[in-house]
Amino acid sequence: MIRPSAARSHVDTLAEYLKERLPHHRRDTLRRVAEVLFGILQAESTLHRKIALHIDREATPASITRMVARTFHETNL
Domain ranges of the chain: 4-75
d(CA 28, CA 21): 15
Question: Apex CA 27: angle with CA 1 and CA 22, to 5°?
Answer: 95
**Closest alpha carbon to 77 in 24, 12, 17:** 24
Which pTM value belongs to this model? 0.84
Helix (H) or strand (E) holding 3: none
Question: Apex CA 64: angle with CA 59 and CA 66, to 5°?
Answer: 130
Comparing 3 with 47, the larger pLDDT belongs to: 47
Task: Identify the pLDDT of residue 9.
Answer: 85
Task: Identify the pLDDT of residue 16.
Answer: 96
d(CA 1, CA 7): 9
